[in-house]
Structure 1
Amino acid sequence: MLRRLTPRARPPTLFLLAALLLALPAQTQTQAQTSRRDTLRVVPETLTRILDPHFTTSFTTRDFAYLVFDTLFAMNDRWEPQPQMVESWTRSPDGLVWIFTLRDGLLWHDGTAVTAEDCVASLRRWGARDALGGALLAATGSLEALDAKTFRFTLREAFGLVLEALAKPGAMVPMMMPARLAATPPSTPVTEMVGSGPYRFSTAEYRPGDRIVLTRNPAYRPRPEPANWASGGKVARFERVELLAIPDVATQVAALTTGEVDYLERVPAENLPTLERNRAVRVQVASPTGFQGIMRFNHSAAPFDDVRVRRAVMLAVNQQDYLDASAARAEFQRRCLSMFGCGTPLETDAGMPRGPDLAAARTALVAAGVDFSRSITILHPGDAPGIAALGLVSQGLLTQLGFRVELATMDLNTWFGRRNRPEGWHLFHTTNTVPDMQSPLQNPFLARGFAGWPDDAVIATQRAAYAAAPDAAARRAVAEELHRRAAEAGFYMPLGQFVA
């Protein structure tokens, strides 16, 4: 992560949110009076067109949502859930009844009060889209508002991750929205951005795919605690935040150097030496765990509907090739076969093939009866350099294995739509932040129904057992076996861990 230094700049943390909110003191001004000094201009890797935080796993959507919306709980840097919109809560001795009371003075951006009914509706909508949220709701007998500020979960079975679910930091985050918006069918993205967070979405200035403008919410009441990762007081120190699309990396770097923009989310490693020599620019790794590279198979389309083919391709993967394409510097790379990420409490490589072995992979593909005359289509978002680099490596690998390969190049927003349709593709690549992948219930690529559509009843049972496990040791034991099963079934191939 890169940003241009200013005299009163603060270092960024994992979430773009922290850099946006905690960098410069705000002044009370109208929008027309807002000076360049009070405006933060940010260039994400890609500028999402999907703003609904319950609708996509895009972490650019997640970062946007942390500014506009708020959550009931949030994680600190020790992975401990902390109250955010919640003032107090109780848990019954058997762990089945949870009652939550909201803070005083919470307001939506349209001026109406945040109510428990809003939160119940938001949780139901989130749970219909998110793997961890779905597991929580599956264990829930009833979820109801008791009064304007209080709501209750009554579980039908043990679920050991209630607060962890409500504090989930990765997409899809359980963001709260008014009940009228949460009533939108989960299959339809919400288009009206009304939250209760520190910044308000400027509808009039929104240019889809080009610019998102946010203005400080004067009615927002930060929590009194210091900001700590996603938790604590979110103090809006800018009057205005602009998220800008600049597809060309060279143009991004030039804009940062001249001060036209203040912050670049990701920059290819070959650009780092130039930036590091510039005293006006700070280059900083914002997340020590970084990203996981992902090769996802379409389990519903031949030849990858055959586990033998999936496992053969996994056996051929040389993670170093993908790491070199994603993060050229060795200090930014880490070989890692864990679907839960390395450096996380549940790190394991159980079930993963011990490659790379191209010869053995070719033999396995022939034994599986692969028809090499049929083309393999890779969904390829050309305007997302970090993801596109992975696809180019796989194109070469699959060609070496004997496949005919077609790169279906498109922009990232089109890519998000295409990958959700089972026809017309065989592979896609993506990256996700390691904290989003670190458990069986947080990792979306282990869930039934997510793009790629692996379907394994044993995995579904193991995910439920993980949620019901009474302690950390029991959860780790379940996670180990679940990982082994998912790896042996070829759910997806981790391509290494890197920062960029």
Structure 2
Amino acid sequence: MLMVPPALAAGVVNVAIVGEPDTLDPVVSTKDVVSIVTQHVVETLYTFDSQWNVAPLLAKDMPSISPDGLVYDIPLRTDVTFHDGSALDPEDVVSSLNRWLKLATRGKGAADKIAEIKAVGPDTVQITLSTPYAPLLSLLAFSNSAAAIYPSENQADQLEKVVGTGPYQVGERVPDQYLQLVRFDGFKPREEPTNGGAGKRGQVPDEIRFIPTPDPNTRVEGLLSGQFDFADSLPAESFDRVSASSTAEPMMLEGFGWPVFAVNHKEGLMTNPGIRQAVQMALPMDDMMFAAFGDDKFFKTDGAMYPEGWPWRVENGIELYNVNDPAKAAEALSAAGYDGTPLRILTSRQYEFHYKMAEVAKMALEAAGLKVQLDVVDWATLGEQRNNPALWDIYISHSPFLPEPALTDMYFTTSRLGWSEPEKDKIAEAFLAETDQAKRVELFGQLQGANLADVGFIKIGNFNAVLGKSKALNGVDPSPWPYFWNASKE
């Protein structure tokens, strides 16, 4: 077990997360472990409520939008203070959003749609678009690759210190042991009732301690022993054991998300579309999901990008999903001129289900005639190496189902995958510009079909996430990015 200083008071919440956040600046990271921690420290103009509707956070209200959809006037709260004591003003927002456009994965994707960001009066920021851009507010609300707001004086590409407006600020940090967050006394919450990430953020705990715990079984044992009040990303096979505990209980996030084999379109083997298609043909999605989750109550093999019940559910291209035909894949490899170069799959055991899928995939791909090199690293190293296209052909990750498909940047040429295909790119641009919902769903169907046909990336299935908490812990809702500002312990 990890050696963590005693922090057992009712006002301290101990949270086991899968690894050490490699940055506390969510602008420059898409890692969940970064989002989970930093949402307590830095804030965005907007956020999401419990139904994934966009709601104001640092913005006073929803924006006023011009009839042509090109000009957004965003009123700002006038009672917000940064951790350094300075007051939030429009210049902070303008400089922060420009930094986001320059550095953030999702900001870069929006940059060519934004003509200007400027202050308009003492408490309003105006964003002018060059073309209608439907995902804008969702992007401004997302805590992942976040449009985080910092003081205008603190806008370097690499921040020496993160200065936010959130309910907590960084206290003590001992690498690989714990990261302590303490209350920010100058914080003023919104007055609306708590509703998901929206409304009042209560500052209930005196401290929140995030404890990097890479081994999933250690997260389980620490939860059951009372060392952790909350544990993220538990193995599916631990569900029954945690359910039987007298001190802890599991939390199931049904229809949580989808594991993905992210494909390198910039360099290497997978730049050959025939080889990409062969890989997709060879993968046994049922076997991979069973290996990852052990029981079909935790997963569903499904080729559509959204589950039943979501407005984005479409069927385009799903006949290409879960073909699971090694012989057909071998023929496709031969036709593509495969020369025996190893396929490099980058994965980690900190999300154990990633590794289990990789093991099954390796056997299936080898049966189809591919040589496979499985590179197993810790999650922080994977996060670094996936930014270098010379080091991998596929990396394994996962994503929650998100309320706006454009929040999944893998569809677009600006992502680290670099997936660019002329017809797909036209569809993607039309999808971003369209504001009519019915037409957007139709275009998203075409985008899903293009992904399955050209193998932009490979969705493996749908899965339910298992989290765990102490029975004494209250005020924490199941979430892809759990937050603890309203948490209390009996």
* TM-score (norm. length: structure 2): 0.88
The answer to whether the 8 A contact 1:117-1:148 is kept is no
Question: Which residue identity is paired with 2:361?
Answer: S
Question: Which secondary structure state, in structure 2, belongs to the residue aligned with residue 403 of structure 1?
Answer: coil
CA pair 369-162 structure 1, distance change in 2 beyond 3 A = closer
After TM superposition, give the deviation of residue 35 of structure 1 in Å: 6.0
Aligned equivalents of 2:442 and 2:317: distance in 1? 14
Query: Which of 154, 165, 179 is matched with 1:196 structurally?
Result: 165
- CA distance in structure 1 between the aligned counterparts of 2:266 and 2:7, rounded to whole angstroms: 52
2:153 and 2:106 mapped to 1: Cα distance?
A: 23
Q: Which residue of 2 aligns with 1:146?
A: 120
Q: Are the aligned partners of 1:160 and 1:470 in contact in 2 as well (CA < 8 Å)? A: yes
1:259-292 CA-to-partner distances (Å, cap 9, x unmatched) read: 111111111122222211112111111x332121
Report 1:267-416 matches (<5 A). Answer: 267-285=234-252, 287-340=253-306, 343-352=309-318, 353-354=320-321, 355-372=323-340, 374-416=341-383
Partner of 1:14: none
Residue 84 to residue 497, structure 1, CA distance change in 2 (3 Å): same
Q: CA deviation at 1:378?
A: 1.5
C-alpha separation between the residues in 1 aligned to 2:425 and 2:105? Answer: 11
1:213 is the counterpart of 2:180: yes
CA distance in 2: counterparts of 1:400 and 1:431, whole angstroms = 25
Task: Return closer, same or farther for 1:346/1:93 CA change in 2, 3 Å cut-off.
Answer: same
2:438 to 455, 473, 476: 473
Taking the aligned partners of 2:338 and 2:6, their CA distance within structure 1 comes to: 65
**Alpha-carbon offset, residue 168 of structure 1:** 3.0
Name the counterpart of 1:23.
none
In 1: Cα distance, 2:342 partner to 2:183 partner = 51
CA distance in 2, matches of 1:495, 1:152: 41
Count of residues in Structure 1 that have an aligned counterpart in Structure 2: 458
Alignment of 1:184-263 (within 5 A): 184-185=156-157, 189-202=158-171, 205-263=172-230
Q: By how many angstroms is 1:258 displaced?
A: 2.1
Residue of structure 2 equivalent to 1:43: 16
SS in structure 2 of the partner of residue 378 of structure 1: strand
Matched residues in 2 for 1:154 and 1:270: separation? Answer: 50
Q: CA deviation at 1:226?
A: 1.6
Deviates more, 1:482-491 or 1:305-314: 482-491
Distance 1:324 1:246, change over 3 A: same
Is residue 53 of structure 2 the alignment partner of residue 87 of structure 1? no
| Secondary structure of 1:111's aligned partner | coil
**Using the alignment, how far apart are the partners of 1:405 and 1:166 within structure 2?**
40
Structure 1 residues 349 and 55, CA, compared in 2 at 3 Å: closer, same or farther?
farther
CA contact (8 A) 1:326 1:498 kept: no
The whole-number CA distance in structure 1 between the counterparts of 2:426 and 2:108 is 14
Q: Residue in 1 aligned with 2:483?
A: none
Q: Residue type matched to 1:362 in 2?
A: A
Separation in structure 1 between the aligned mates of residue 292 and residue 245 of structure 2, nearest angstrom? 23
Residues 15 and 208 in structure 2, CA contact (< 8 A), matched pair in contact too: yes
Change (3 A) 1:259 1:158: same
Percent pairwise identity: 23
Residue of structure 2 aligned with 1:461, choices 415, 422, 426? 426
- Alpha-carbon displacement from aligned partner over 1:34-68 (angstroms, at most 9, x marks no partner): 86211000001223222220112111111112111
Contact 1:378–1:405 (CA under 8 A) maintained in structure 2: yes
Secondary structure in structure 2 of the residue aligned to 1:282: strand
Which runs of no fewer than 5 residues in structure 1 stay unpaired?
1-31
Residue pair 1:47, 1:209 contacting (<8 A) in 2 also = yes
Q: Return the offset for 1:429.
A: 0.7
SS in 2 for 1:37: coil
Alpha-carbon distance change, 283 to 168 in structure 1, aligned in 2, over 3 angstroms: same
- Any gaps of 5 or more consecutive residues in structure 2? 466-490
Deviation at 1:311, TM superposition (A): 1.0
Tell me how far 1:319 sits from its aligned partner: 1.5
SS in 2 for 1:474: helix
The two structures have a TM-score, normalised by structure 1, of: 0.86
Displacement of 1:472: 0.3
Q: Cα 1:482–1:248, aligned 2, differ >3 Å: closer, same or farther?
A: closer
Q: In the alignment, does 2:468 pair up with 1:499?
A: no
